[in-house]
Amino acid sequence: MVGKTEARVELQGVSIYYNKLQVIKNVSLTLPSKEITAIIGPSGSGKSTLLRAINRMNDHIQGMRIEGLVSMDGQNIYGEKVDVVALRRRIGMVFQRPNPFPKSIYDNVTYGPKLHGKISKTELDVLVEKSLRQAALWDEVKDRLNSSGLDLSGGQQQRLCIARSLAVEPQILLMDEPASALDPAATAKIEDLMLKLKQDLTVVIVTHNMQQAARVSDKTAFLLSGELVEFDVTKKLFTAPRDKRTDDYISGKMG
Amino acid sequence: MPTQQKLVIAAGYTVLILTVAIFVFLAHQSWPFFAEHADLSFVTGDRWLPVSFPPSFQIKGFLVSTLLITGVAVLLGCPLGVISAISLAELLPRQVGLVVRSLFEITAGIPSVVFGFLGLRIVAPYVARVFGLQTGLTGFSAGVVLSVMILPTLVSLAEEALRAVPREYAQASYALGATRWQTIWRVIVPSARGGIAAAILLAIGRAIGETMTVLMVAGGRLTTPGSIFDPMRTLTALIASEVKNAARNSAQYHALFAAGLVLFVITFAVNALAAAVIVGGKGRRSS
Ligand SMILES: Nc1ncnc2c1ncn2[C@@H]1O[C@H](COP(=O)(O)OP(=O)(O)O)[C@@H](O)[C@H]1O
Ligand SMILES: [Mg+2]
């Protein structure tokens, strides 16, 4: 597939409204391919909204309106002819609270691939193992693929959700505070995992945990009240922020 | 303990005691019958001859009729009810949903004698014409009317079950590239299947217990029907039509109570199964 290695996402002058309320204000940024970009900022600053603009999950919210351009490999993803289903196959998403389906581990992983046409059982088996290995969950669940995804621990559930996303072989993985509901050990596992994943795909992680952003990301975007205050190489943003507000936020002078 | 909680517990015990009391009453009133007919012919035999010499009281025909009519009601009503519930929970705009929901509520409030009347005057003649029958007063016609009567219960309970499915499941599905239909059929409906099953069971219970409509629409043959297009009489219709003519403490009187006991046991079993499904489903989800 052309562009498989590219997966460049660009936002140009993006504004997002929920009815009258503008929650994203003229944001422009380019997500580097096969790197981890962190979006940080206080609660309510629009991080989730911005993330959901990339796979058009905001489309499901009544009264949402978006201005500006979001493009993937040069193609406007809000264009008239865009197939949202196909778009979401290329852009996976992991949510704040682990949300495995009340189905078996196996069926959770095969859910996505099965949506998009017939696949043989052998191919599915291969895909399940590959995805669970990629999500560093295989060894823990390989003997109980038929037990419910809900029977796993929180951290395992989140890795199952990651495996479920990976099974459709996306080029981009969006993660909305994927570790905020997890304990430190489970969080560390997810962070390790992200570092491995970026060998194959582009990762965007929303987090309000600045240490986490500093640990895992290559670039960081600081969002405040819907405004992109600063977007830079992570190390630079955390050691030598250009904007006073960034400095205040990372040094904890802001909520 | 807060007063409110005490009241709920008190109400629960009252219902429990009442249920037991009804069972004891039915058992007591039918005891003289069972004392004399201590064999299964009561439910396997086809002769209900209350005024013959000697009289015979066998209820297979009524049992079969009850099952057949309930079967028709469920086969017709369930697909319609579940699809309505899905539409209400997932598809219809809010305003339209409100209208549809109040239509179902109005349906629930229509007295069953009115349904019986509509069945008698509209459904039965229509069924007779379409299927070329001598009379439209058949089990099938009664089943058709009942299928509409069970909809309100079915739809509101099934909708509730669908709405209780966490939105996160649907979101995960959409994010994986599922369409709305795929999300509904592959995630939302399967996640709600326990609640939907309970809704169907409670609707079955309602269909089994319905009396006036079947009395008016199903016809009145007392023997086991050969087909769903025969006239027939259910257990409820049997009891309703004969109990006022049976002399107190006569053999017929006790036999009717025996029939009532059978009916009670069946509906109790169906409702208990529904309760078990609901409780079982809740237990699993919270684990
Ligand atoms: N579905 C919604 N409808 C209306 N307003 C919303 C919705 N979701 C979020 N908002 C509002 O948009 C703003 C940004 O929210 P969000 O993107 O969730 O921020 P963050 O993820 O940074 O906490 C908040 O003011 C929030 O109240
Ligand atoms: Mg958020």
Neighbour-count burial for B142-171, b at 16+ CB within 10 Å, e otherwise: bbbbbbbbbbbbbbbbbbbbbeebeebbbb
Alpha helices in chain A, H assignment, sequence order: 47-54, 84-90, 105-115, 121-134, 138-141, 154-166, 184-197, 210-216, 234-239, 244-250
Question: Which residues, including other chains, have CB under 8 Å from residue B284's CB and lie 6 or more apart?
Answer: B194
B167–chain A Cβ distance below 8 A for any pair: no
Q: Are A17 and A61 in contact (CB under 8 A)?
A: no
Q: Which residue has the higher pLDDT, A77 or B277?
A: A77
Of B172, B186, B191, which has the smallest distance from its Cβ to A95's Cβ? B172
Q: Provide, rounded to the nearest whole percent, the portion of chain B with pLDDT above 70.
A: 98
Position B33 pLDDT exceeds 50: yes
Chain B residues closer than 8 Å to A161 by CB = 172
Supply the pLDDT for residue A7: 65
**Are B175 and A99 in contact (CB < 8 Å)?**
no
Least confident of A18-22, B2-6, B17-21: B2-6
Q: A51 C-alpha to center of ligand 2: Å?
A: 9
Kindly report whether the peptide bond that precedes residue B54 is cis, defined as omega within 30 degrees of 0. Answer: yes
Position A190 pLDDT exceeds 80: yes
Q: What is the pLDDT of residues B152-200, one digit of tens each?
A: 999 999 999 999 999 999 999 999 999 999 999 999 999 999 999 999 9
A123–chain B Cβ distance below 8 A for any pair: no
Supply the pLDDT for residue B280: 77
The encoded tokens of residue A199 equal 């060998």
Nearest to A204 by CA among A75, A6, A34, A59: A34
Q: Are A61 and A18 in contact (CB under 8 A)?
A: yes
B183–chain A Cβ distance below 8 A for any pair: no
Residue B220 backbone phi and psi in degrees, to 5: -140, 20
Closest Cα in chain B, distance from residue A153 (Å): 11
Supply the pLDDT for residue A160: 97
Chain B residues closer than 8 Å to A85 by CB = 177-179
Closest Cα in chain A, distance from residue B252 (Å): 54
For residue A45, give the ligand 1 atom closest to its CA.
22
B286–chain A Cβ distance below 8 A for any pair: no
Domain span at B23? 3-286
Beta bridge partners of A40: A222
Chain B residues closer than 8 Å to A100 by CB = 172
Residue B32 backbone phi and psi in degrees, to 5: -55, -35
Please state the rounded mean pLDDT for residues A176-203. 93
Q: Closest residue (by CA) to atom 7 of ligand 1?
A: A18
Q: Round to whole Å and give the CA distance between A109 and A249.
A: 38
B179–chain A Cβ distance below 8 A for any pair: yes
**Are B178 and A115 in contact (CB < 8 Å)?**
yes
B285–chain A Cβ distance below 8 A for any pair: yes
Q: Round to whole Å and give the CA distance between A23 and A170.
A: 28
Radius of gyration of chain A (CA): 18
Residue of A nearest to B168 (CA): A99
**Are A101 and B191 in contact (CB < 8 Å)?**
yes
Q: A203 C-alpha to center of ligand 1: Å?
A: 22
Q: Round to whole Å and give the CA distance between B56 and B33.
A: 11
- What CATH number is attached to the domain comprising B273? 1.10.3720.10
Q: pTM for this one?
A: 0.86
**Are B177 and A60 in contact (CB < 8 Å)?**
no
Q: A20 C-alpha to center of ligand 1: Å?
A: 13
User: Ligand 1 test: best mutation among A19, A27, A43, A49, most atoms within 8 Å of CB?
Assistant: A49
What angle, rounded to 10 degrees, do the helices at A184-197 and A154-166 form?
20
Q: Is residue A48 lining ligand 1, measured as CB closer than 6 Å?
A: yes
DSSP string, B51-104: TSSS-EE--HHHHHHHHHHHHHHHHHHHHHHHHHHHIIIIIS-HHHHHHHHHHH
Supply the pLDDT for residue B287: 36
Position A64 pLDDT exceeds 70: yes
With cut-offs at 50, 70 and 90, classify the pLDDT of residue A255. low
Residue of A nearest to B188 (CA): A101
Please state the rounded mean pLDDT for residues A157-180. 95
Q: Which ligand is nearest to the CA of A44?
A: 1
DSSP string, B3-21: HHHHHHHHHHHHHHHHHHH
With cut-offs at 50, 70 and 90, classify the pLDDT of residue B279. confident
Average pLDDT, chain A: 93
- Give which of B173, B176, B184, B284 to mutate to test A binding, by max A Cβ within 10 Å: B176
Please state the rounded mean pLDDT for residues B233-256. 93
Nearest to A83 by CA among A109, A111, A114, A59: A59
Determine what percent of chain B falls in helix, strand and coil, rounding each to the nearest 5: 75, 0, 25
Beta bridge partners of B240: none
How many CA atoms within 13 Å lie on the side-chain side of A68? Answer: 19
Count of domains for chain B = 1
Nearest to A254 by CA among A42, A76, A86: A42
DSSP 3-state of B217: helix
Q: Is residue A171 lining ligand 1, measured as CB closer than 6 Å?
A: no
**Are B175 and A88 in contact (CB < 8 Å)?**
yes
**Are A92 and B176 in contact (CB < 8 Å)?**
yes
